[in-house]
Amino acid sequence: MPPAAVRAQPRPLFSASRIVLGLLCLMYLLTYLDRVNVSTASAVFENELHLSKTQVGFVFSAFAYPYLVFQIIGGYLGDRFGPRRVLTLCSLVWAGATILTGVAGGFAGMVLARLLLGFGEGATFPAATSAMASWTKPGDRGLAQGVTHASARVGNALTPPVIVALMAWIGWRGSFVATGLLSLLWVAAWWAYYRDNPARHAGVTPAELAALPPFIDYRARRRNPVPWGPLFVRMLPVTFVYFCYGWTLWLFLGWLPQYIRNQHHLDLKNSAFFAMGIFLAGVAGDLLGGWLSDRIFRRTGNLQWARRNLVVIFFLSSFACMVPLFLTANLTLLTLSLSGAFFFAEMTIGPMWSIPMDIAPHFAGSASGIMNSGSALAAILSPVVFGFIIDRTGNWSLPFLGSMGLFLAGAVAAFWMRPERTFALDDIAISAAS
């Protein structure tokens, strides 16, 4: 596609597509607030519930088992029935699960609540990608994904101080109930405002609609089932690369506050402050990575440079930033090292989440679900492995070696992603729907 074909057109500040994007940003923030609040609250409930570090790791990762399963199922449902219904139902489940976490009486109750959270949140990002495929211009995909995931990192950054404040006010159990109720408010706003077909939205303008990709009715999509075998093979390298990213993401989300508190003997409030700073570096990475990916695409029309090559550069940069973890004990230097590693890792988000829309624009939910299953698998393994290593060695830096190795492996595997090659069977789906 020539650069002129994807050149951005000005839109009103509060256009319908931007409001939809804003709602999705809020959803991403809330999903991460509800899934990583346990990492801060664990400093209190692990003692109250008499949990070992390995058990805490299982609590962190329990939601990831159904989360993994529902990545592909959720993407398929989003493509088949539309994101409006799918995200509404999923949000009700995850909000309820967050509230139930606050009433858990022990290890089994915490695990069950987190499993239910995984069922609710498993479909959210693939279904949201399906929504973005209909409501976002191709030349804006990288930034749109960067902005939404930056909102998730804002959730990461806000969670430690917010949960600490809520625990001081209403206890750790009350903090889960409060965040769950906040998620219920989002459900009402999404159902009231969003429409699957942009043309049926009362607030969309003709100029805005003309700039969006053609909408294929979900009834037409049901007559053309997702070609799972070829699509899975096509997305396999992308999934592995995203697993390499997800390993470090879930290590940070689950254990970062406790790493800072135990490695440097800080109290809960100060460890939350340092964790917030590292997560804010991820916010900047999400925004900059998505913006840079779209800018390169608009200038060159080259998806290899705009997507794949950027991922390689960012993975290698994250690897380099982690080296000081084994060379110094200075808190400031270690914080800068972790911030840099997380910043560059998050710069991959815009390019990576654009790739499913580039490869299979009319199966974007299903393709992104396949890709995100790599991160979901990492969410199962990474927190438990971290906790196991700490229980066995007491060395809080040692688990980061796995992240460094996977960054190198992901940089190599990225050359097999081929985002410039659109999934051929899309042409069949388009012609059949015509």
pLDDT-derived band at 361 (thresholds 50, 70, 90) equals confident
Rounded to whole angstroms, the Cα distance separating 260 from 74 reads 35
Cα diameter, the chain? 64
Written as one string, the DSSP assignment of 145-179 is HHHHHHHHHHHHHHHHHHHHHHHHHHHHHHHHHHH
The gap from C-alpha 404 to its chain's centroid, in whole angstroms, comes to 20
The gap from C-alpha 139 to its chain's centroid, in whole angstroms, comes to 21
Render the burial of 221-249: b for 16+ CB within 10 Å, e for the rest. beebebbeeebbebbbbbbbbbbbbbbbb
Contact 383, 255 (CB under 8 A): yes
Q: Give all strands (DSSP E) within 283-347, no chain letters.
A: none
Closest CA relative to residue 365, chosen from 80, 76, 28: 76
**160-164, 171-175, 427-431, range with the lowest pLDDT:** 427-431
Rounded to whole angstroms, the Cα distance separating 259 from 272 reads 11
Q: How many CB atoms lie within 10 A of CB 108?
A: 9
State the DSSP code for 102: T
* pLDDT for position 7: 44
Domains of the chain: 17-197+222-433 (1.20.1250.20)
**pLDDT tens, 103-132?**
888 888 888 999 999 888 888 888 888 888
Q: Which residue has the higher pLDDT, 222 or 339?
A: 339
pLDDT at residue 87 above 90?
Answer: yes
Contact 375, 246 (CB under 8 A): yes
pLDDT at residue 225 above 80?
Answer: no
Tokens for 359, please give them: 């490869």
* pLDDT for position 13: 62
Rounded to whole angstroms, the Cα distance separating 222 from 260 reads 49
Tokens for 402, please give them: 């796995």
* pLDDT for position 219: 63
Rounded to whole angstroms, the Cα distance separating 409 from 123 reads 27
* DSSP H helical ranges for 49-123: 53-62, 64-81, 83-101, 107-121
Rounded to whole angstroms, the Cα distance separating 340 from 282 reads 9
Please give the model's pTM, rounded to 2 decimal places: 0.76
132-157 mean pLDDT = 84
Non-local CB neighbours of 405 within 8 Å, separated by 6+ positions = none
Backbone angles phi, psi at 9, to 5 degrees: -110, 145
Rounded to whole angstroms, the Cα distance separating 200 from 130 reads 17
* pLDDT for position 266: 67
Rounded to whole angstroms, the Cα distance separating 57 from 5 reads 48
Closest CA relative to residue 77, chosen from 31, 119, 130: 130
Residue 86 burial (10 A CB sphere; 0-12, 13-18, 19+): buried
Q: What is the CA radius of gyration of the chain?
A: 21
Rounded to whole angstroms, the Cα distance separating 183 from 40 reads 19
260's enclosing H/E stretch is helix 228-264
Rounded to whole angstroms, the Cα distance separating 319 from 256 reads 17
* pLDDT for position 207: 84
Q: Which residue has the higher pLDDT, 96 or 73?
A: 96
Q: How many CB atoms lie within 10 A of CB 421?
A: 11
Rounded to whole angstroms, the Cα distance separating 421 from 147 reads 25
* pLDDT for position 416: 94
Rounded to whole angstroms, the Cα distance separating 225 from 231 reads 12
The listed range with the strongest mean pLDDT (195-209, 308-322, 378-392) is: 308-322
Closest CA relative to residue 197, chosen from 90, 81, 87, 91: 81
Rounded to whole angstroms, the Cα distance separating 64 from 372 reads 11
Q: How many CA atoms lie within 13 A of 313 on its CB side?
A: 12
pLDDT at residue 432 above 60?
Answer: no
